[in-house]
Chain A
Amino acid sequence: MSDNNVLISVNDLKKHYKGGEIKALDGVTTDIKKGEVVVIIGPSGSGKSTFLRSLNLLERPTSGHILFDGIDITDKSTDINKLRMKMGMVFQHFNLFPHLSILNNMTLAPMKLLGKSKEEAEKRANELLKKVALGDRGNSFPSQLSGGQKQRIAIVRALAMDPEVLLFDEPTSALDPEMVGEVLDVMKELAKSGMTMVCVTHEMGFAKEVATRVIFMADGKIVEEGTPKEIFENPTNDRLKSFLAKVL
């Protein structure tokens, strides 16, 4: 905890539904350090999304603590909106704002929340758009884009806030197969640039290539974690072994 490289520190996190009948998270403890690319894998219903969404408090945990930059975000007196500005999130279904142009999707939060001028915000947005090869689509609307393009926009929309960490919840699961690559490429670039990332994904190739750490979850718990090499080549847990047998 005193390690000042730790960005997010999760301690005995629990999330129960129906008065404890469903334990979506059943005591998760882990630290996420700056610059880490953590990939979370595990069977459906194992609590991956719940864990990820707890990190920016889209789900409020039943018990346990999450420290972000040393601040306990589960504390009721913490201004969660301020902290969420530093934690970008990318969703499975993109969630672009359909009533706004791509440029306005990307400048809304920087202008309203960071107080950037329109010029500043648009300049940064255009830079980011070029990085994901969509420099000419600023004036398009989300409905005019393909799924892969939408997800690339969703990523740069989050980046426009200059977050300290990006959270991804199955960012390629809703995409047609031929579009998965273009989104993963953007994520790989990001990872190489040193961005701290936490990704729930079924893309084992991505995990092997860029993850600094892989977490395997089952039944709301971290069952095994380690480097991609450890997880994929020397799994020890039986459930991890049978999971890998199915997905690899």
Chain B
Amino acid sequence: MLMLSIGDWFSKLKSDFILNFVQDDRYKLILSGLGSTLVITFFAAILGILLGIILALVRSSHDKMIDELRPGFGKGLLKVANFIANIYLTIIRGTPMVVQLLIAYFIIFASSNNGVIVAIIAFGINSGAYVAEIVRSGIMSIDNGQFEAGRSLGFNYIQTMVYIVLPQAFKNILPALANEFIVLLKETSVAGYVAIVDLTKAGDKIRGITFSPFMPLLAVALIYLILVTIFSRLVNILERRLRNNER
């Protein structure tokens, strides 16, 4: 029946805040966790985009020209590459991220004690599988006439892709790529499974020390939300720039 007065409520909030963030410089844990999250996301995204473009090129060039290639080393190589790409995509998209991370950390790179680098590789490989499908859909969205115009001028397959198809595809898939980046950022929150103190783990650690879950977990959520919002804005600006470029 007893109601806390507003003043009491505020002073409770204040002491909670001091306990969770100020005391023993606990905010530093959050900051370094945020740093790890950003580093993992950034480098995993770069790795993912590189892998994704390579995979998409392998898959779409296989589909497009395997019939017209002359038998020989090139054709064999493309077939093998396409086979590997398909296995890669199937495994990565068919298993949970956390399991992939655990396998990377405890089996494949068991001898490494640099969790962040293992995480970058694991998240990058995972993201690459999704980026590959995005890039592939982008390539397919470009009218075949563009491809033919490039080939008719004398460009080979790769040159046509690099100079003509991919720049246009990139514009079309930018929203999907941005979305994948946001998914990746949020997905890195499972990095704590392999002893990395990322943003999420940092919040959880503070909760474990202070036994006060409200502040640290909400702070973590808020930081993710702010990051995603800022990034979305930046992408919107970039999209508008790219569109204006064509007019």
Q: Tell me if B155 and A88 are in contact (CB < 8 A).
A: no
| Shortest beta-carbon distance from B224 to chain A in Å | 34
17 additional contacts, CB 8 Å, given A81-B155, A141-B246? A56-B152, A58-B148, A60-B67, A77-B70, A81-B151, A82-B154, A85-B153, A85-B154, A88-B152, A91-B145, A93-B145, A95-B143, A95-B145, A97-B146, A141-B247, A144-B247, A161-B153
Please name all residues of chain B whose beta carbon is closer than 8 Å to the beta carbon of A97 when the two chains form the complex: 146, 149, 164, 168
Partner among A60, A99, A157, A158 whose Cβ is within 8 Å of the Cβ of B171 = A99
Please name all residues of chain B whose beta carbon is closer than 8 Å to the beta carbon of A112 when the two chains form the complex: 155, 159, 163
Q: How far is the CA of A201 from the CA of B91 in the complex (A)?
A: 52
Please name all residues of chain A whose beta carbon is closer than 8 Å to the beta carbon of B247 when the two chains form the complex: 141, 143-144
With both beta carbons as reference points, the residue of chain A lying nearest to B163 in the complex is identified as A108
**Residue A34, interface by CB 8 Å:** no
Q: How far is the CA of A89 from the CA of B164 in the complex (A)?
A: 16
Please name all residues of chain B whose beta carbon is closer than 8 Å to the beta carbon of A56 when the two chains form the complex: 152
* Residue-wise interface mask of A (48-85) relative to B, using a CB-CB cutoff of 8 A (1 in contact, 0 not): 00000000101010000000000000001100011011
**Residue B63, interface by CB 8 Å:** no
Q: Tell me if A58 and B152 are in contact (CB < 8 A).
A: yes
Q: How far is the CA of A161 from the CA of B150 in the complex (A)?
A: 12
Size of the B side of the interface (Cβ < 8 Å), in residues, is: 23
Please name all residues of chain B whose beta carbon is closer than 8 Å to the beta carbon of A89 when the two chains form the complex: 148-149, 152
Please name all residues of chain A whose beta carbon is closer than 8 Å to the beta carbon of B24 when the two chains form the complex: none
A76-B70, A112-B163 as given contacts; A158 in contact with B151, CB under 8 Å? no
**Residue B156, interface by CB 8 Å:** yes
Q: How far is the CA of A108 from the CA of B146 in the complex (A)?
A: 14
Q: How far is the CA of A233 from the CA of B232 in the complex (A)?
A: 68
Q: Tell me if B151 and A161 are in contact (CB < 8 A).
A: no
Please name all residues of chain B whose beta carbon is closer than 8 Å to the beta carbon of A81 when the two chains form the complex: 151, 154-156
A109-B155, A143-B246 as given contacts; A95 in contact with B168, CB under 8 Å? no
What are 6 A-B interface contacts by the 8 Å CB criterion?
A: A84-B152, A95-B148, A97-B168, A141-B246, A158-B152, A161-B153
**Residue B167, interface by CB 8 Å:** yes
**Residue B68, interface by CB 8 Å:** yes
* Residue-wise interface mask of A (95-123) relative to B, using a CB-CB cutoff of 8 A (1 in contact, 0 not): 11111000000001100110000000000
**Residue A87, interface by CB 8 Å:** yes
